[in-house]
Structure 1
Amino acid sequence: MWVDGEPRYIAVLVHGYGEHLGRYDRVADVLVRHGAVVCGPDHMGHGRSAGDRVLIEDYEDVVADLHTVVESARGDHPGLPVVMIGHSMGGLIAARYAQLHGGGLAALVLSGPVLGRWHAVDELLPLDEMPDEPIDTSTLSRDPAVGAAYAEDPLVWHGPFRKRTIEALDTALRRVDEHGSLGALPTFYVHGEDDELVRPEDTRAGIERIRGADLTERLYPGARHEVFNETNRDEVLADVTAFIDRALA
């Protein structure tokens, strides 16, 4: 948990596949200075959490874990509005959370979210054996230091996908599509136009399925997958905090 002084809102960070919350120090620092108390889990099988590495058999379990974190933060800071920020696979989890518990959220931010369809799932689902091909870290950001830090991070998973995780992702994508609109929840969708890991055109279909009455979106030219770690990260995070201000007002 990150906090300094008397916060005016709770920001819950929902990290992506294979990574962990420790990679969000810079994001948390900006949010704390903006008035947030920042928290979030390492998902099951990720980072410092227990479980077989990157094995998720049902994403509803991850959403339930996330709800426990939110309710704990609410108990520690009663009366504060809750903003959820999900990146990549975390965007899928956060969107599902909002479908089930959106009445308890003041705003939702989705960064390069896995929604609609994901080419990685389409390609891996028919295979019996998961290929052991490490991620091309240059797809994360135009800043080479980001890829280098990712490659050297012992809490990041550098091995292959699990077949059951791919099956669970496929189920979760369909479930979110079928559930539909986020209603009146203020939602900010951000994506790098040059994202090759989670392609904007694939996410677009999912955004259209869940979009409610208050959707703001911003695509960043030249940016890759991790817009919070991109060379224009200050611009992206300024856009996020401006959106939060509007939602809380």
Structure 2
Amino acid sequence: MRKQTLQLTSTDHHQITVTVFEPDLAPRCCLVISHGMAEHGDRYAGLAHWLADQGVAVVTYHHRGHGPGSAHPGHYADRQGWHRVVQDLHQVVSHTRAQFPGCPVALLGHSMGSFIAQSYIQQHGDLIDTLILSATNRIHRSQLKVSLGLVSLIRMLRGQRHPSKTISKLTFGKFNRQFQPARTTCDWLSRDPEQVDRYLTDPHCGLECSVGLWQDFIGGMLSIDPRHWRTDLPVHLFAGTDDPVGEKGKGIRKHFQAIREAGVHQVTLRLFDGGRHEMLNETNADDVWHFLLQCLPGQAMPQSQTAQAQTDTTGMVSGLFSG
């Protein structure tokens, strides 16, 4: 396995740090990973090493405002933040296709990164051969519009770069209250205490994001519409049945149905019993990694396996100021 770190320049001259994990032999496919909020691409190195051993080239990178060297931690940009993070992903995918010509490319988006990935394939679906969505949720349009108005008000009062503790408490804090008594503030991420502790001690994880980022994020989610996706694009969704972001299975199940109803032909959903938000870092991560491998181009298409959804809970940002 060969590892290469490089810098790509986005359209507004932003530097994108990219890491490529390349198998010793010619890869059978490529996987680009779009990570979640308040984390970074380096957290996927273990998975990338394992996939490279299976013959898969893996490309990770840091979203704007995330990871080492970020100029404005927790903030996308002062203007057109969502457009810019989607364009950054376009730079990464285009470079991947140029580096591995003729190799099918899959896109994995986790949590916030799943929504960036969905916006991306809505614009550049012809460049992706398979879309994989981890820990995503349905699009609550009415609630998102209310949330957008309130976030916009906070931005007017405090400025767009203001890191809002209020929004963090109303989202991440609400998620963790579902796992009381909790050992830490991040028990909602995984049942594996070692993985939770790694997140808590990582200086580039858990940052409070800016009001501007939240405004961009909510606006970006509102722009997602599966009716504008390629109908022949294979789409795989997976999550844990105890993931509060996906409403413990209810929200992601509804998004799965919405994608099917939009006319996308190949859609699967897999819910892992008892799993929390980061299934790739769960106690049964080995099973999840093998499932992910099955989702990649050239593999047998996994069957939908959905566990009974548990109690309805508030999903990410969609219920930001509700209840």
1:22 equivalent among 32, 42, 45: 42
Distance in 2 (CA, whole Å) between partners of 1:61 and 1:28 is 25
- Deviation, 1:130, is 3.8
For these two proteins, the number of residue pairs brought into alignment is: 246
Aligned: 1:106 with 2:117:
no
Distance in 2 (CA, whole Å) between partners of 1:202 and 1:232 is 22
Question: Are 2:136 and 2:245, in contact at CA under 8 Å, matched by a contact in 1?
Answer: no
Distance in 1 (CA, whole Å) between partners of 2:149 and 2:211 is 7
AA of the residue aligned to 2:288: V
Q: Structure 1 pair 2/156, CA: closer, same or farther in 2 (3 Å)? A: same
- Deviation, 1:59, is 1.5
Listed one character per residue, the Cα deviations across residues 48-84 of structure 1 (whole Å, up to 9, x for unaligned) are: 3533112125322111101111111211111111011
Q: Structure 1 pair 190/227, CA: closer, same or farther in 2 (3 Å)? A: same
User: Could you tell me which residue of structure 2 aligns to residue 169 of structure 1?
Assistant: 217
User: Could you tell me which residue of structure 2 aligns to residue 238 of structure 1?
Assistant: 290
Please give the residue correspondences for 1:143-154 in structure 2 after superposition, counting only pairs within 5 Å.
143-154=192-203
User: Could you tell me which residue of structure 2 aligns to residue 126 of structure 1?
Assistant: 150
Which sits farther off after the overlay, 196-205 or 126-135? 126-135
TM-score normalized by the length of structure 1:
0.89
- Deviation, 1:157, is 3.6
Look up the SS of the partner of 1:139 in the other structure.
helix
Question: Are 2:242 and 2:275, in contact at CA under 8 Å, matched by a contact in 1?
Answer: yes
AA of the residue aligned to 1:187: V
Q: Structure 1 pair 117/144, CA: closer, same or farther in 2 (3 Å)? A: farther
Distance in 2 (CA, whole Å) between partners of 1:206 and 1:51 is 34
AA of the residue aligned to 1:3: E
Which sits farther off after the overlay, 232-241 or 48-57? 48-57
User: Could you tell me which residue of structure 2 aligns to residue 11 of structure 1?
Assistant: 31
Please give the residue correspondences for 1:1-249 in structure 2 after superposition, counting only pairs within 5 Å.
1-5=20-24, 6-48=26-68, 50-57=70-77, 58-117=81-140, 126=150, 128=154, 130-131=165-166, 133=169, 136-158=185-207, 160-177=208-225, 180-199=228-247, 200-211=249-260, 212-244=264-296, 245-246=299-300
AA of the residue aligned to 1:168: D
Question: Are 2:135 and 2:238, in contact at CA under 8 Å, matched by a contact in 1?
Answer: yes
Distance in 1 (CA, whole Å) between partners of 2:47 and 2:216 is 28
Which sits farther off after the overlay, 124-133 or 83-92? 124-133
Question: Are 1:176 and 1:210, in contact at CA under 8 Å, matched by a contact in 2?
Answer: no
- Deviation, 1:178, is 7.2
Question: Are 1:196 and 1:225, in contact at CA under 8 Å, matched by a contact in 2?
Answer: yes
Distance in 2 (CA, whole Å) between partners of 1:238 and 1:194 is 20
Look up the SS of the partner of 1:85 in the other structure.
strand
Question: Are 1:117 and 1:173, in contact at CA under 8 Å, matched by a contact in 2?
Answer: no
Look up the SS of the partner of 2:32 in the other structure.
strand
Name which one, 1 or 2, has greater alpha-carbon Rg: 2
Distance in 2 (CA, whole Å) between partners of 1:178 and 1:74 is 24
Distance in 2 (CA, whole Å) between partners of 1:169 and 1:25 is 25
The two structures, once aligned, show a CA RMSD in angstroms of 2.4
Distance in 2 (CA, whole Å) between partners of 1:55 and 1:152 is 21
Listed one character per residue, the Cα deviations across residues 127-158 of structure 1 (whole Å, up to 9, x for unaligned) are: 63542657631111110001100000012143
- Deviation, 1:210, is 3.5
Which sits farther off after the overlay, 184-193 or 106-115? 106-115
TM-score normalized by the length of structure 2:
0.69
Question: Are 1:84 and 1:107, in contact at CA under 8 Å, matched by a contact in 2?
Answer: yes
Look up the SS of the partner of 1:246 in the other structure.
coil
AA of the residue aligned to 2:120: Y
Distance in 2 (CA, whole Å) between partners of 1:184 and 1:55 is 35
Question: Are 2:191 and 2:282, in contact at CA under 8 Å, matched by a contact in 1?
Answer: yes
Look up the SS of the partner of 2:57 in the other structure.
strand
Listed one character per residue, the Cα deviations across residues 161-203 of structure 1 (whole Å, up to 9, x for unaligned) are: 3211111121111100375444111111001110124423233
